[in-house]
């Protein structure tokens, strides 16, 4: 994500009173502008809780600088350190120690989460539907009902699977997203959807409609 796009996303968050965000999907520390982007997001008054998903590799070398740059926001920030079969886990302990040292709230992947069933293809739902996606519907869970995904281009997707791109943050710089989101989703929440795969088929159908 570029700083320019991040500024538009931050304006979207503020205008639409978004309260909780998760930053993930590619290691944030690999973006050379990560610090400025995070300050933009965390400075939004309505954002009361923010979660960063990370592999913890920033802890190697001058690892403390990663958290120091975020220290003004530690009251609303949670560092979620991945410790599972899909990462090297080389610097997890160092990352956790640094979180403790600087007084950040943090979580570490549990054994229960380290399973194939727990993996969600965030942003890749348009290309991949897991067994869960064939048998269940991610957004039918009340805790996820009003979740959505914003990608690095500022495009908004119906859920974190990224299977249905239906808006852009540019369209809602002055607010109004909540009403649109409910309107768009009412067809799904008002009728039975058997699975994420069904939703994806509906998305493909809209692409065929003139």
pLDDT one-digit tens code per residue, 102-157: 999 988 875 555 554 555 555 555 545 555 555 566 666 666 677 889 999 999 98
CATH number at 22 reads 3.20.20.70
Task: List Cα–Cα distances, 130 to 135, 146, 205, in angstroms.
Answer: 9, 21, 20
Give the pLDDT confidence of 30-57 residue by residue, as tens digits. Answer: 899 999 999 999 999 999 999 998 888 8
25 with 100, same domain?
A: yes
Decide which of 62 and 172 is more confident: 172
> Is 71 within 8 Å of 45 (Cβ atoms)?
no
104 with 142, same domain?
A: no
53 with 155, same domain?
A: no
Helix ranges, the chain (H): 3-15, 34-42, 64-68, 92-102, 131-135, 177-190, 196-208
Containing domain of residue 195, as a range? 120-210
Section 81-106 average pLDDT: 82
43 with 129, same domain?
A: no
Q: How far apart are the first and last CA of the chain?
A: 31
């Amino acid at each position: 994500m570029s700083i320019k796009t991040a500024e538009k996303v931050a304006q979207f968050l503020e205008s639409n009173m978004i309260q909780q965000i998760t930053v993930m999907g590619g290691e944030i520390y690999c973006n050379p502008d990560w610090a400025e982007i995070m300050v933009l997001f965390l400075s939004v008054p309505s954002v009361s809780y923010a979660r960063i998903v990370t592999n913890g590799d920033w802890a190697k070398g001058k690892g403390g600088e990663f958290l120091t740059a975020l220290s003004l926001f530690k009251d609303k920030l949670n560092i979620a350190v991945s410790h599972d079969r899909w990462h090297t886990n080389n610097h997890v302990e160092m990352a956790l120690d640094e979180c403790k040292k600087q007084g950040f709230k943090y979580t570490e992947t549990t054994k229960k989460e380290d399973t194939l069933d727990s993996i969600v293809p965030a942003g890749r739902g348009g290309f991949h539907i897991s067994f869960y996606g064939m048998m269940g519907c991610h957004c039918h869970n009340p805790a996820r009902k009003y979740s959505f995904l914003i990608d690095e281009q500022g495009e908004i997707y119906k859920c974190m699977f990224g299977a249905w791109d239906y808006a852009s943050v540019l369209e809602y710089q002055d607010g109004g997203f909540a009403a649109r989101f409910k309107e768009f989703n009412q067809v799904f929440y008002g009728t039975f959807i058997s699975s994420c795969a069904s939703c994806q088929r509906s998305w493909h159908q809209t692409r065929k409609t003139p």
